Structure formats: C-alpha cells, structure tokens
Structure 1
C-alpha cells in the first residue's frame, strides 16, 4: 500500500452511499413511496410489498448493515493509518444523501470519494447513483466534489467472501447440490443491461471455480417488479427451482452474487419465498451469506482509493 498521505489524496473524506430502508412500521409506506416516486405504482402494490417488511417488524436490515460496514471501514482505515472521515448517506431514507452532503460541506470537506453498496455496472446499480450524487450536490450550495469509486465486482475483497460463503452453503447440503447464483432482475431495455449481465456471469464463474471447481452452476434472477407485460431478465429463482426439481435436483445452494449485504430482497425473496418454494418441491435449500462487513470487503474502499491516486 501507498503512504497514508498518498492514499487519501486527492480526497478528504469517504462517502458510504446506499439504498436506505425503513426502520419501523411507520416508515414502510413512506419509504416505498420514495423508492417508486414517478413510476405510477398503484397503492395496492406498495401495500403488498410493505407486507414483506412487516414480517420483519417493519425494519429493513440494510441501515444497520450500513452502520456495521461504516464501522468496519473506519477500523480498516485506522489499522492502515488512512486518516479520512467516513460519512454515510442513502438514496431513499434517512440519512438522506443531500443531508449528508450538507454535513460534509459544514465540516469543510471539499472532495470525497463515494463507495456505493452496489458492485456492478448498469443503470440501477451504477448510473442511478451518479444521478443521485449530482442531484444531492445541486441541493447544497458550494457542495463538495464527489467522485464515485469504480465498480468492484471483479475484486478479491468482494469475490473471496462469496467463495467462502458458497462453500459453507454447499457443506450444509448433500454432495450433489446444485450451485445457483442470484441477482436483482432488471428490465431488458434498461441501459447497460448487457454489461450488468456480463459482469454477473464473470463473478459467478469466478466464485464457482473457487468454491466448487467443476460443479455445474446457474445464474438466475429475483425481486422482479413492474408490469407483467414488460420483459425482465429471467429465469426467476422460483421458476428455476421448479425446473431443477423436474430434472431431479434435490438440493440447491443459493448464492446472492448480485448483493453486498443481507437486505430485504435477500431476507424475504430468498430466505422466505425461495426457501418455501424449495420446501414445497422437496428440494433442500441453503443460502450463502453476503460479504456484509467481512474485513476483506471493508478493506475494498481503501484499495479503491489507492488505485485512484
């Protein structure tokens, strides 16, 4: 690693930028309204999705996971003499990004690097965060410059925790278990969708080669939303479980390769919906952990900052 002064230049802060989530039942519908603003989603659909959160007390895990990751990044910085403050802002819930940018300006921050809790290219996974940054800066006069750090789906700090977790999930199942990677589905007409899929395939291939060399694997999708008439990436995880069951597969290890932490779309769409469908089909099911605040993942911002200098 480079020296602390070189590592931090030209930045004087790190911004942890995430999606956000409700932290109580009263937050759920306002949060979902924020997420879907401008998309004309019927109220009934919001209430239906809200039930997923109410199963967990109206609390999404994502905010606490961000607190834990922020603390882990700060610990990694301290251990490597990187003297940068770490801020945290969200797209859709408190702490809102614009409020964080306002605090950064008040603290005298002039230029920050943003580490986003999304590892891939694509519109919703990368470009939309760039738009969020610019929108927040427009709200704050004399806002600091904020540069988003590059996508990191090919980095060891992201892939190695997944490889260990995939191996752990396989160890909980019979030897002939199928390895199934999942990621958030997106509309087929979404900008940069092809690059998103290519990066997912490469990441899944890398993890599979480390966790279970030679074992067959699949890449499928989850958490689809939007009108049924709009084509999205397929197959969906529950449909794929049915297909595998029909082919005689009796156990699956599911690796949420598209996610960096166990937030709601992992906890409900996999741990509840997919697990229940697998049980109905008589298929043993184990879900691999996401990187979360694994020290290797928490070190990624430091490595990305070093590469940026």
Structure 2
C-alpha cells in the first residue's frame, strides 16, 4: 500500500494560510462546566446536569487531551511544510474553547490573510463533523463583518478518511495491537472498528443528497475505511480477522434512535460467542481525545476485564508525520484545483476522493443557519 501521494506543483496559491479547526476542550477543572455550556448552548441543560456530564473530565483532572494533541499536530504541520519548502503559516482555532475560532480568524485578518484553507479535525461526512464546522465558520465571518473587518475567503479541505496518510498509520496501529496480544489468542482476535454514535436520522442524511439513505455517507465511509484496514492487515499477516463497525460516546435522549451497537455491548456479544480477544480500532477519531481516553481506554477496557476478554486499543493517527504530509497533499491539491489545474486526487478504497465544495442538501442543518465553504455559502 502506497503511504502517500506527492503532488506537483508545490504552489499553495491562492492560499496564504492554513487554519486547523477543531472542537476544543477544557484545560483545567474550572474550565469543564463553561466548556460544556459552550458545547450545549441553546439546549437549556441545567448546570447541575453539566457537572454530572463532566465527570469524565474530572476523572482526568478536568483536562481534555485534545488541545495538547492539536498543539502537537500544529507542530507536525509546520515542520512538514518547512521541510517541503512550503512557506505557509498555520493557525489554530476551536469551536468550543480557546483559542476560539472567531479570535483566530480575526488574528488572521489582522495578519493580512485573505484566502484560507481549513482543515477540520473530523475525517468523515456528518452534520457535527462537517456542516456544523461550516456553520461555525459562517458565525465567525459574520462577527468579523460586524466589526468592520475585511472578510477572508475560507475553503474547507475535502474529507480525508480514505487518504493513505490517514489509513496507513492506523493499519500499523492495528498490527502493533495484535502483536501485543497473547500469542494463543492473537490469530482469532476480532477487530472492533469504533466511531462516534450519532442519531440515525443524522447518519441517514449525511453526505450529498444522492448518498442519503440507510446510514448515509457517514456509515459508508467508515465501512470503507474498516475494509481497507482489514485487507491491509490480512496482506501483512495472512489472517482475515473477523470485524464489525460499532459505536461509542452516545449522548442523546434515550427515545431517539442512535447508531448501534455500542462498543461495550459488542464486547459482551463477542465474549458470549466465544471470541478469544479483540482489538478496538477508533477509526472515527483523529486523535486520542476524551471519547477515546474514557469510552475506550476506561469504560470499554473495564468491561473487557470484567468479561475476562483480552483486549487492546490501537492508536489513532494524531500527529503522525504521514498525516501531516497528507494535509500538505490535500492543501496543494485544492490549491492547484482553485488555479484551474486538473490534478490527481489521492484516495484508497471504493468511494474515491470526496468533493471539494459541499453541495446543497449535504449533511443538512438541524435548523436554518448559514454555513460557509459550501455551495450554499453566503460568503463567496
């Protein structure tokens, strides 16, 4: 499997900056409830309930690992760009915690940046993983407009779930986790590919309208990634491990159908069926943030121990240099396209490269809100 595609030419024009756009997370106990208030704004959730929800964070000193992981990714991107001779500044802004997106965009404008490529730390199509970030961009641009500042054009880079720079590090993580299992259970280990559960209705309407239906683009993309990893592991080991796509981190009302099965329920099922071991593979997450740290490393691992089921959790991509190189690839690919060039787009699997511009009806909003960086953007 080729590890990455080296694009040519190496010209970032028309872009004069890259923005790393992420979710954000608390960095101390006093941040937890204000952070959760940001995440749940408009839903009328009482503060006492937020304290209960925040117990996962308090178990880890009130600190989410996501901000440090984004700092590591920023450093990896800057080193990769410099090593490739790409003189392009990289900024970082969050949806729900400092550095806030609006503050970062303001800084970029004051630095003279006018054409910005945006990398969201979500690899797949969904409302929360794509359109909501585009809504956040529109909100930030509206705030700058109200301040009388010139507005940069922002272009969100395409989904990268099937880029080799995202896939290959995860394959190596699975191989390492399998090797770490006791030898007598290794060959029969099941692979549990995990991602964030979302409401079934949101999944069914994810991606362009043509892809709406049972699970939508969200499920299709995850299944394609899982198959790529399974095939690569089989090529390396000669073993076709049984596998399934499962879900974690459900947070919605119990009467609303969400994607299932949950990882803990799946581990119980595997144990009941006599599976000798399992590797949890968090393909839905770019880095080891709270959903991975608590839902897999804490809760699911405890469930496996209770069952007596040997289990390992494979690594996310994080700040792997190959992922940083993939981001450079995506940036230069989009830049060349914006200059009117026809470029080869690197993608593995059966789905091909994703679209550059989210079409109308793609991952529709829960309510009418403007979204930037799409065909329906009010900011051309």
Aligned to 1:165: 173
2 CA distance for matches of 1:61 and 1:258? Answer: 16
Aligned to 1:150: 158
Matched residue SS, 1:299: helix
1 CA distance for matches of 2:44 and 2:158? Answer: 32
2 CA distance for matches of 1:32 and 1:116? Answer: 20
- Maintained 8 Å contact 1:102/1:143: no
Matches within 5 A, 1:249-264: 249-264=275-290
2 CA distance for matches of 1:45 and 1:154? Answer: 38
Matches within 5 A, 1:208-223: 208-213=230-235, 214-223=240-249
Gaps in structure 2 of 5+ consecutive residues:
1-6, 207-214, 337-380
1 CA distance for matches of 2:271 and 2:234? Answer: 21
- Maintained 8 Å contact 2:124/2:159: yes
Gaps in structure 1 of 5+ consecutive residues:
none
Deviation, structure 1 residue 143: 2.2
Matches within 5 A, 1:164-243: 164-173=172-181, 174-175=185-186, 176-190=188-202, 191-192=205-206, 193-213=215-235, 214-243=240-269
1 CA distance for matches of 2:246 and 2:49? Answer: 24
Q: Which has the larger radius of gyration?
A: 2
Deviations 1:193-246 (A, max 9, x none): 511000000001101111235211111000001110010000000111111110
- Residue 116 of structure 2 is aligned to residue 117 of structure 1: no
1 CA distance for matches of 2:264 and 2:49? Answer: 20
Aligned to 1:248: 274
Deviation, structure 1 residue 41: 3.0
2 CA distance for matches of 1:49 and 1:286? Answer: 26
Matched residue SS, 1:112: strand
Aligned to 1:2: 8
1 CA distance for matches of 2:173 and 2:226? Answer: 13
Matched residue SS, 1:212: helix
- Maintained 8 Å contact 1:250/1:282: no
Give TM-score, length-normalised by structure 2: 0.79
Give the direction of change, closer, same or farther, for the CA distance of 1:239–1:42 in structure 2 (3 Å limit): farther
- Residue 98 of structure 2 is aligned to residue 94 of structure 1: yes
Deviation, structure 1 residue 42: 4.1
1:104 to 90, 104, 108: 108
Deviation, structure 1 residue 300: 1.8
Q: CA RMSD in A?
A: 1.1
Matched residue SS, 2:200: coil
Give TM-score, length-normalised by structure 1: 0.97
What count of residue pairs does the alignment treat as equivalent?
Answer: 307
- Maintained 8 Å contact 2:278/2:312: yes
Matched residue SS, 1:60: coil
- Maintained 8 Å contact 2:33/2:47: no
